[in-house]
Structure 1
Amino acid sequence: MTTAPTRSDRRVSPVFLGIAAVTAASGWAAWTGFADNPGFAVFLFVTAAWIVSLCLHEYAHARTALHSGDISIGAKGYLTLNPLKYTHALLSIVLPVLFVIMGGIGLPGGAVFIERGRIRGRWRHSLISAAGPLTNVLFAVVCTAPFWLDALDGVPDTFRYALAFLALLQVTAAILNFLPVPGLDGYGVIEPWLSLSIRRQVEPFAPFGLLAVFGILWIPEVNEAFFDAVDAILRGLGVTDWDTYWGQRLYRFWQGTPDIPSISG
């Protein structure tokens, strides 16, 4: 018999705390210039912060499901923020990190298994699916806050560029997650409102939705239009193309650390 989550089911995992500690330490190194290779510090900071955001994304799904009626969530370990507890750690952590390294795309993953039969009400089902990408939206707002609040005085350029690139990843993740493609959260938002016959027809394609999105993004015209939209959103939040460009240059430290230009340069 499934019971409500216990205190141990809700205890934050040491794995997550370790990732958060790496984020803080590498962020400090990028801010102070302590590291000999600022690009490596930016790489660690952005990658670790990206994994933190992935954990929070899945936690939002799980927590919303719990409050919507799926009390099995606790026993699965989803409330501990431990990425190793996800149903598909490869899809949830490994592939999104690889896509960031390869192309600077915040590609969404798929992770927590929710017992939908325990949940009543279409609005609740939609909210569970929306909770994850809304976390990416919130993360993007936080990352860009120094930009749109005009509070960048005293912020080192290296850290500024790192924040800009991290914001770009969050915006791309939010947009891609909200696409109404089977297997992605956007489809999960609208699925409860579709007829049973349509859902049955679409269901076989769900495992391939993420791969289809990735493949389509390789089309030059689609890729250009997508990143034009991302850049427009970031500019609206005060983040310039200059910021994201140098953030990605620093992130790819293995290509050689560039001479970091001043924002006034």
Structure 2
Amino acid sequence: MIAFTLHEFAHAYSAYKFGDRTAYDAGRVTLNPRAHLDVMGTILLLVAGFGWARPVPVNRSRFKYPRLMGIVVSAVGPLSNLLLTAIGILAVYVLNQTGLLQAGSFGVHSAIVHFLNYLITLNVMLFIFNLIPVPPLDGYRIIQDLAPTPLRIRMDQYETWGMFLFLLIVFVPPLRAATLDPLFANSDSIISCIMQICELFFDKVDWAQFVADFYR
């Protein structure tokens, strides 16, 4: 719910700020999960490990600079998942540094660890997945806005076939193993990179004192 909601909200909010009220009028500029979650997509995520939210309607013709702003609107979705990954990793880092995880019961400790683990893992996978340049993913929209007009027209003509290819990649195990699984294998590298950045910038912070001051 957190990952999908923030992802779609980022699309809707950025489009609204750039002058397109389509998503705003549809009630999508909100952090209420009910406005973004798709029932079937959520069920499949829980059952099959793959799912989706309701796509945000965007009318690029209403932007002052349609291509440039279209790229930003497409990119902020995956970037929101990367931000949630960083927040989850930072939370783990702070909890470990302050010893707060050891202060609670085993049940509380286990629940927090599992939640943060899923938050980090799912969001980094969504970040990678959505940047794949296949329709209807954000990576495809970014490539589409970067492409010269003749290529863009040709991409529009074959978009339906691209979506068919996307479904095959996701739901046919051998194709998924040959394409998506190697990409998702890079998630550990991204997580390690963010962890190193956290250590670089926050290692000298007295987190115990920070938490004490926060609750004072």
Q: TM-score, normalised by structure 1?
A: 0.59
Identity of aligned residues (%): 26
Aligned partners of 1:211, 1:73: CA distance in 2, in Å? Answer: 26
Q: Which residue of 2 aligns with 1:214?
A: 170
Structure 1 residues 185 and 197, CA gap change in structure 2 (3 angstroms): same
Aligned partners of 2:98, 2:46: CA distance in 1, in Å? Answer: 25
Query: Which residue type is aligned with residue 65 of structure 1?
Result: A
Structure 1 residues 222 and 236, CA gap change in structure 2 (3 angstroms): same
Query: Which residue type is aligned with residue 176 of structure 1?
Result: F
Aligned partners of 1:57, 1:83: CA distance in 2, in Å? Answer: 11
SS at match of 1:220: helix
Aligned partners of 2:98, 2:180: CA distance in 1, in Å? Answer: 30
Aligned partners of 2:145, 2:191: CA distance in 1, in Å? Answer: 32
Q: Which residue of 1 aligns with 2:206?
A: none
TM-superposed deviation, 1:237 = 4.2
Q: Which residue of 1 aligns with 2:190?
A: 233
TM-superposed deviation, 1:217 = 6.3
Does 2:121 align with 1:168?
Answer: yes
Alignment root-mean-square deviation, CA: 2.8
Q: Which residue of 2 aligns with 1:11?
A: none
Contact 2:130 2:137 in 1 (8 A): yes
Q: TM-score, normalised by structure 2?
A: 0.71
Alignment of 1:67-216 (within 5 A): 67-86=17-36, 90=38, 94-103=40-49, 107-121=51-65, 122-149=67-94, 150-151=96-97, 153-155=99-101, 156-203=109-156, 204-205=159-160, 207-208=163-164, 210-215=166-171
Structure 1 residue runs without a partner (length 5+): 1-50, 239-265
Contact 2:169 2:179 in 1 (8 A): no
The one of the two structures with greater contact order (alpha-carbon pairs below 8 A, sep at least 6) is 1
TM-superposed deviation, 1:113 = 0.7
The farther-off stretch of 136-145 and 68-77 is: 68-77
Structure 1 residues 99 and 224, CA gap change in structure 2 (3 angstroms): same
Aligned partners of 1:133, 1:191: CA distance in 2, in Å? Answer: 16
